[in-house]
């Protein structure tokens, strides 16, 4: 996927806030607090998935590969 990676949760929080500020979130009387959110990958980094327009605030996205954990279904 395309997106942005961060070594620490603090860096991911800062990027999420930059994106929210850019879009003007939260809006008065609105329910949306952030434009994007971050996740933690089992590979040991935080990431934000690219969405159109995000490059205007976070720069060009990169290719991200995330290892998915196997789950057993019963």
pLDDT digits (tens, 9 = 90+) for 39-57: 999 999 999 999 999 999 9
**Distance (Å, whole) CA 6 – CA 54:** 15
pLDDT < 70: residue spans in the chain: 71, 74
pLDDT at 74: 65
Please state whether 73 falls in left (phi above 0), alpha (psi between -120 and 50) or beta.
beta
Residue 3: which H helix or E strand, with range? strand 2-6
Q: What is the pLDDT of residue 10?
A: 98
- Between the alpha carbon of residue 33 and those of residues 37, 58, 64, the distances in Å are 10, 18, 25
pLDDT in the model for residue 28 = 87
For residue 18, the model assigns a pLDDT of 97
């Amino acid at each position: 996927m395309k997106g942005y990676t961060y070594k620490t949760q603090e860096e991911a929080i800062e990027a999420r806030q930059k994106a929210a500020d850019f879009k003007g979130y939260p809006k008065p009387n609105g329910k949306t607090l952030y434009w994007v959110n971050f996740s933690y990958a089992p590979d040991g980094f935080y990431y934000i998935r690219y969405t159109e327009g995000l490059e205007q605030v976070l720069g060009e996205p990169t290719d991200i590969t995330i290892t998915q954990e196997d789950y057993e279904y019963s």
